[in-house]
Amino acid sequence: MNSRKLLGKVNRVCLFGLAALLLGQVLPQTGNSVAAAQTGDREAKKDHGEPIAIVEQGSFFVGGTEVTAPGKFDPTVRNTSDEGQSFPIDHLYVQYQIPQHARRFPLVMIHGANATGSFWESTPDGREGYQTIFLRRGFAVYVVDFPRRGKAGFPSFNGTLGALLDKQVIPNRTNRNGDQGAFIGVRLGPEFLEYFPNSQFPKAGLDQFFKKLIPGVMDDENVIVDALAALLERIGPATLVGYNSTNDYGFVSAINTGVAVKNLSLQPVGGSVGIGITPDANYKLDVNGKTNIRGDLNATGTIESNNFLVQDRTTFSSPAYLAGTPYTGPVAGLLFQYVNTTTNNLNVTPSLANTFVHTGDGFDAIDVSRVGGTNVLDGGTNSNFLVGGTAAGSFDTFFVDDRGPVADIWSTVANFHAGDDATVFGITRSGFKIDWADGQGAAGFTGLTLHVTAPGVPTASLTLSGYSTADLDNGRLSTSFGTQTDGTPYLFVHANS
């Protein structure tokens, strides 16, 4: 079934944020160890509530493939040699519970990077996690471990990691965040053990949180998507509940399988559902301390989470996640937008891919490096720092506005790569002098710099970090001039490689 037909069967798309990670209370740092910043590995006081009547529970594996080593199987060396043996790989592990009188559509809970389904089971300080909370609400719950991790196992055989005889099925290396990298990576605070003000993270469970993180081997989006699609084909219509980088996996799985999906519940990249607070008795879902919804998971309508981290550097306000709005412009593929044309200086970091960010005449910074997808970054008429995505398949467009600046402007574009575009509005081929220079720009982000000058008007400059004038001749970059339908002229720069 193609994506258009399938999405036509999706009754509602709900965007839920399930974590409360940022804007936290600063914890005094008394040492450089985790133990110095918490009260220990103790569990929070538990309130188990009423018993749950489970009519069926268990686990199974789904999806994946099988690889066979060449040669002849020798039963006398079966535990030391791969020859002639077949091995199942890249399957999904699924643990499920079905309550009495279950609702029609089960929940499929999918985890994030370097994690497993354990993030859904309980909070680090021992309280019930969303697996149990929604089970109590009458939902059948399926919690998965992605292929190549956790209970799904990873493709390794007899000998070197990931090698089947002389064929390397996965790279012979792993990756893992240490305590410090994890603390900063999920944005618990600006520095290790320094929490953001008003943080709702259960600090007593920090050590448990670190232990939930696992080493990873090479993730393959196609492997994960195929396994999730196989699960949906087995269990039928379901609600996908994801967080962090799994948003795209869940959405693509819904497109790739012919099974109707009732809801897609996605959380912005960077949050972690298993580490924040869980809903109270009223089942509110919190995003950074702000209640977005109350009621059931299958609430009607489209619910948008706060997915733009914004800091006003003019007023020195603390960073806060703000809600965007559905994108209404002409660019295909964009989903949400954040538009704030204030003259204040803003830092804007989306936590959702496929977004349009438009700021005003301040000195602004827009960073989409964590989300991938297709994005449009428009910093308005002033000097701005624009950071594009780096993920495979991410393509960004950068706007520089030279229509009537009151002073010289100089913008920098970082992570400019093949498929990206930069448009400088207000420039004509004949009315301006255009110069290109090498090695200019901010420290650490120097590169090919465009200088546009004309008598009596401020100079407009644009630095493409990492490029040089040679790239204008060797085909890595191409330039052209054009005019919009409203008569606005522009210079267009495209990265070919």
What pLDDT is stored for residue 101 in this prediction? 85
Q: How far does CA 198 lie from the centroid of its chain? A: 23
pLDDT value, residue 245: 53
Domain assignment present for residue 298? The answer is: no
Same domain, yes or no: 33 and 64 = yes
**Do both 100 and 9 map to the same domain?**
yes
Q: Are residues 35 and 64 in the same domain?
A: yes
Instruction: Please report the pLDDT score of residue 187 as a whole number.
Output: 80
Token pair of 441, please? 């720009």
Give CA–CA dist 128/136, Å, rounded: 11
Report the CATH number at residue 87: 3.40.50.1820
The whole-number pLDDT of residue 26 equals 25
Structural domain span for residue 270: 3-293
Has residue 288 been placed in a domain?
yes
Total structural domains within the chain: 2
Domain boundary among 293, 320, 350: 293
E strand or H helix that includes residue 7 = helix 3-7
Would you give the end-to-end CA distance of the chain in angstroms? 34
Residues 337 and 200 occupy one common structural domain: no
- Domain limit, last residue, from 261, 293, 325: 293
Could you tell me if 404 and 449 lie in one domain? yes
Only one residue has tokens 């003019």, namely 314
Shared domain for 106 and 170, answered yes or no, is yes
Same domain membership, residue 335 and residue 248: no
The residue behind tokens 């196609």 is: 222
Mean pLDDT by 10 residues, the chain (497 residues): 29 26 25 39 55 94 93 83 91 95 85 86 89 90 94 89 86 86 85 88 91 82 83 83 58 47 41 34 28 29 59 85 84 88 93 89 92 89 92 87 91 95 94 94 93 93 97 96 94 95
Residue 368 has what pLDDT?
A: 92
3-state helix vs strand vs coil in the chain, percent to 5? 15, 30, 55
Instruction: Write down which residue in 254, 269, 293 finishes a domain.
Output: 293
Q: What is the pLDDT of residue 372?
A: 75
Any alpha helices (H) in 99-245, and if so which ranges?
118-121, 130-136, 179-185, 206-212, 221-235
Instruction: Tell me: do 241 and 358 sit in the same domain.
Output: no
For residues 162 and 209, state if they share a domain: yes
Which H/E stretch holds residue 255?
helix 246-256
Q: How far is CA 467 from the centre of its chain?
A: 27
Distance separating alpha carbons of residues 307 and 311, to the nearest angstrom: 13
Distance separating alpha carbons of residues 165 and 87, to the nearest angstrom = 12
CA separation (Å) from 165 to 218, 370, 377?
A: 19, 37, 48
Residues 267 and 366 in one domain: no
